[in-house]
Structure 1
Amino acid sequence: MTVTVVAGNPKPASRTLAAARLLAEQITGAPVDDAIDVITLGPGLLGWGDEAVAAAVKTVQSSDLVIFASPTFKATYTGVLKLFLDQFATGDGLKGVVAVPLMLGAGPAHALAPELLLKPVLVELGATVPVQGLYLNEKSWEDPESSREWLDRWTLVIQSLL
């Protein structure tokens, strides 16, 4: 099983990336195989044909489980993540990938953002998204209690698909 995290934070090596890694490890019990810090792909995201972006896309497409993570910006996922997701073909670009939407934010006002905004895009790209998206507070995401209920409810569902 190949597990990848994709972090669409405008800051490299962000807590968004760390939260995605942690969630993947909590689901699988093992470290991730690959981590894509989207912002490090730079201007190659603005077009098509960039080798580094193409390699990142291939990594995601060859993964069994991918955690797609973003901070909450203006009540939705970041433009950086959108630029990366635009690299995948509609309908089958993420075919065969089990995806989990994860977003971090400052408060509960945007708790539905992963479910309402990020999950539909992943489904449109062909990913299997079998569970609710997870929203974590950016200040308490490391606290095991912050995701315990979600993990208790959804881990076995995700594992059964892998």
Structure 2
Amino acid sequence: MTVLLIAGSPTAPSRSAALLDAAALRLRRRGLEVQRLTVRELPAQALVHAQFDDAQLQRATDQVAAARAVVVATPVYKAAYSGLLKTFLDLLPQSALKGKTVLPLATGGSAHHMLALDYALRPVLGALGARHILPGVYASDAQVTLTPEGGWQLQVDIADRLAEAVDTLQAEAFPSTARSGFDPIHFSRVRCSV
């Protein structure tokens, strides 16, 4: 039972990868197994020419098949998700996301592109058979900033929304591991009154 994180940015480092890193940290802290698939590391020729027999593409497809939940992160260009991510998603089998819970994440230059999650990415994820596509988290460039040390910092509102989205992902895909909001109480401490 793993969560597969798919990084769809053609550049590194990237703001969308920073969102993915923050999600991974939260998932790992909750005891979930996390794997990462960075699309830009797949062979470009195999992606563009749809070489389904390429060993790296087959491994990537197997990772998607084995995951219980998927988090997809992409930058938004021209009001849509990255072409690199599209190339990869186009190579997946029609039912690649069947039965899976999917959390889409995106970053873009301004808030004007936030609907790209709903109008561009969500239909493709649905066409791939995702069981449940969670409400996505979109962050503008101003909400994910580069620190002087070279790391990324999420503004509080984005960090909170991302934390809530990851909690929802865990509750949907791994209900037995989700926290109830109450700390466990030993039976000896339970009191009954009549």
Q: Which residue number corresponds to residue 45 of structure 1?
A: 47
Native 8 Å contact 1:119 1:129 kept in 2: no
Pairwise CA distance, 1:87: 1.5
Opposite residue 49 of structure 1, the aligned amino acid is D
Paired with 1:119 and 1:39, the residues of 2 have a C-alpha distance of 21
Pairwise CA distance, 1:73: 0.5
TM-aligned CA distance change 1:146 to 1:9, over 3 Å: same
Pairwise CA distance, 1:78: 0.8
**What is the TM-score of this pair, normalised by structure 1?**
0.86
Pairwise CA distance, 1:24: 3.8
Matches within 5 A, 1:126-145: 126-141=129-144, 142-145=154-157
More strand, by proportion: 2
SS in 2 for 1:71: strand
Q: Which residue number corresponds to residue 20 of structure 2?
A: 20
Opposite residue 14 of structure 2, the aligned amino acid is S
SS in 2 for 1:95: coil
Paired with 2:40 and 2:33, the residues of 1 have a C-alpha distance of 19
Pairwise CA distance, 1:130: 3.7
Q: Which has the larger radius of gyration?
A: 2
Aligned positions, number? 160
Runs of 4+ in 1 over 6 A off after TM superposition: none
| Range with greater deviation from structure 2 (137-146 or 117-126) | 137-146
- Once the two structures are aligned, what percentage of the paired residues are identical? 29
Paired with 2:40 and 2:167, the residues of 1 have a C-alpha distance of 32
Native 8 Å contact 1:89 1:125 kept in 2: yes
Paired with 1:32 and 1:108, the residues of 2 have a C-alpha distance of 32
Native 8 Å contact 1:3 1:63 kept in 2: yes
**What is the TM-score of this pair, normalised by structure 2?**
0.73
| Range with greater deviation from structure 2 (27-36 or 60-69) | 27-36
Q: After superposition, give the CA deviation of every residue in 1:93-150 in whole Å (9 maximum; x if it has no partner).
A: 2112211111101111011111221111111101123421211123323223214246
Pairwise CA distance, 1:25: 3.3
Pairwise CA distance, 1:65: 1.6
Q: After superposition, give the CA deviation of every residue in 1:26-47 in whole Å (9 maximum; x if it has no partner).
A: 3563476211110110222121
Instruction: Give the alignment partner of residue 63 of structure 1, picking from 64, 67, 70.
Output: 67
